[in-house]
Structure formats: C-alpha cells, structure tokens
Chain A
Amino acid sequence: DQQVKQNSPSLSVQEGRISILNCDYTNSMFDYFLWYKKYPAEGPTFLISISSIKDKNEDGRFTVFLNKSAKHLSLHIVPSQPGDSAVYFCAASSGSNDYKLSFGAGTTVTVRA
C-alpha cells in the first residue's frame, strides 16, 4: 500500500521559472518529510527536509511547504536551472514505524533552456 504518493510522473519547466513538485501522504503518523534528487546512474541525494512542527523550510533555491491538515507537501525550486533536471523523490517517516523511510514513486523534472 503506497503511503506516499507523487501523482505527477513528470514535469517540464522553462529555465528560470519556478518548479513545483507535489506529494501526498496517507499515514497521519508521519512527522518527518524529505526530498531526494536522483540523477541517472547515481544514488538519491538528500535535498531538504521538514519536521511536522514546521510548515515551511527553506534552503537556497529550495523551499518545502507542509500542509498537515491536507496531508500534502510541496517542493518549490526557484529559479529552475538545467542542472535541476532529475528524478525527485518525496519520502516520509515516523517514530512509530522505526523511522523507516517510505518513498513516493518519483517525479521526473526536465528544465528546458
């Protein structure tokens, strides 16, 4: 049963514009959320995380927003750069589940020049 869902398999965006990636979860016990970026032939790279006590976390061009009531989070990338073209995975965990990560299926982002 997929507890973390990324319903958009792909996203295409113009260089310099904003990329918005969405993620929904079903397990109300999740209290820590992460975004990973993956290039072909490489492992996932940790990007940014957010705890459920916050609703926003920012790191440079990357901002994650959390809406607990909607069980929804999003990753904003501003401005998008060609090097951002990759697969982005949303992940979530909770202490009640031994802090194991549950991953979404991923969204492939293509930044057009």
Chain B
Amino acid sequence: DTEVTQTPKHLVMGMTNKKSLKCEQHMGHRAMYWYKQKAKKPPELMFVYSYEKLSINESVPSRFSPECPNSSLLNLHLHALQPEDSALYLCASSHNTGGHQPQHFGDGTRLSIL
C-alpha cells in the first residue's frame, strides 16, 4: 500500500470545467511534488513545494494551479485544460528537498480531457 494517497483515481472533465486533484501523506515529509506522465514516457516534474512554499515551477501553464494548504496536503487545481493535458498525474513526497533522498509516489490520477 502506498503511503501517498491521491484522489480521485480517475477523472474525466470537459475543457471548460474546474476540478481539483488531491494528494495526502502522513509520513511527516516536508517536500511534495506534482509530476505529469504521458503513456510510455517517464514522469515529468511540474511543481515542488518545500515547507508548504512553492519552490519550483517547471514553466507549467497557468491552467494548472498548485496549492499546499498544510504539510500533509497538496492540491492541483485544474481549469480550462486542453486535450493534450490528458495524462497520469503523480504526487510524490520526500523528507525535504535538501540532500539526496528518495521520493515516494502515489498511484496517480488518470485525467482525461474531452
């Protein structure tokens, strides 16, 4: 069982909808990440939060809006997405962003844009 929980597991939305992806971890980790993974490709980093503050934005379009309400929760707000945004969205966490340590991933949200 993964210790990073993502909801929902699947999401279908239209291009004009607003929805949110949620991620939760209770390992006491202070760094949390959003990745996007297309079929047969490696995960691509989108955002990094360190101690609830956004530390890295990999030039992600503004239709993706991250939020970190507290040290255990990470949200990704979606608005006016495009069909090419259909992908698996993975959340990950690690103890912090300083030094080398593994990131632990959730099972992802499979997003389909109609």
Interface residues, chain A, with chain B CB atoms under 8 Å away: 31-32, 34, 36, 41-46, 49, 51, 89, 93, 95, 98-101, 103-106
Which residues in window 8-47 of B have CB below 8 A to A? 40-43, 45
- Chain B residue at smallest Cβ distance from A36: B105
Contact, CB under 8 Å: A103 / B100: no
Contact, CB under 8 Å: A43 / B42: no
Rounded to whole angstroms, the CA-CA distance of A93 and B92 in the bound complex is 15
Residues of A within 8 A of B72 (CB): none
Contact, CB under 8 Å: A100 / B45: yes
Residues of A within 8 A of B100 (CB): 31-32, 49, 51, 93, 95, 99
Contact, CB under 8 Å: B105 / A44: yes
The secondary-structure label for the interface of chain B is: loop
Interface residues, chain B, with chain A CB atoms under 8 Å away: 2, 4, 6, 40-43, 45, 48, 55-56, 90, 92, 97-100, 102-108
Residues of B within 8 A of A105 (CB): 40-42
Known: A98-B97, A105-B42. A46 touches B102 (CB 8 A): yes
A31, A98, A104, A105: which has the most chain B beta carbons within 10 Å?
A: A98
Contact, CB under 8 Å: A99 / B90: no
Question: Min CB distance, A71 to chain B, in Å?
Answer: 18
